[in-house]
Amino acid sequence: TAYEIYQCDWSSDVCSSDLFSSAGTLEVSSLNDPNSPLSQRVLYFDLDSSQIKDEDREIITVHAEFLAAHSDITIVLEGHADERGSREYNIALGEKRAKAVKQLMTLQGVTENQVQVISFGEERPVALGHDASAWNLNRRVEILYTGY
């Protein structure tokens, strides 16, 4: 399978694409390579949604193929939400987002014991503003590699 991964510099609106034939052929050292498709580890979500965006499905597939080929490596999927909504709602929403990513990965060969899901809800914002741009950045799942 071939994957076209886009890397964008949003300050200059320049995007480039790279074609990767299979993430399963990537070495563990690829995890520390900023040019690797595995360097894309944040997935963003719409308001009140745990639906995975089409553009993020390719990123998830690359990670899933890598993990399926390296069964000794584990990840933590951290679910996050923006500050709107109750604390309880946001914890549940962050968990739903992380579980949606996990489900897609396990359908692609990743074992259950390779993936841990945790939700921080609104407790760990990456952007501290109180506007749409901050909220967009805070509605996310982060893929954190462990065990390598």
Average pLDDT taken over every residue of the chain: 87
User: CA-to-CA distance for 75 and 139, rounded, in angstroms?
Assistant: 19
CA 40 to mean position of chain CA atoms = 7
pLDDT score for 113: 96
Q: Determine what percent of the chain is predicted with pLDDT higher than 90.
A: 77
pLDDT score for 10: 43
- Specify the pairing of strand 3-9 against strand 14-20: antiparallel
pLDDT score for 117: 98
Q: Which two tokens stand for residue 73?
A: 């490596």
Q: Please give the biggest Cα pair distance in the chain.
A: 43
Q: Which two tokens stand for residue 67?
A: 């993990």
In this structure, what DSSP letter does residue 53 have? P
- Specify the pairing of strand 74-80 against strand 140-146: antiparallel
**Average pLDDT score over residue span 5-31:** 57
Closest CA to 2 of 24, 20, 26: 20
DSSP H or E run through 97: helix 87-107
Closest CA to 43 of 24, 65, 62, 17: 62
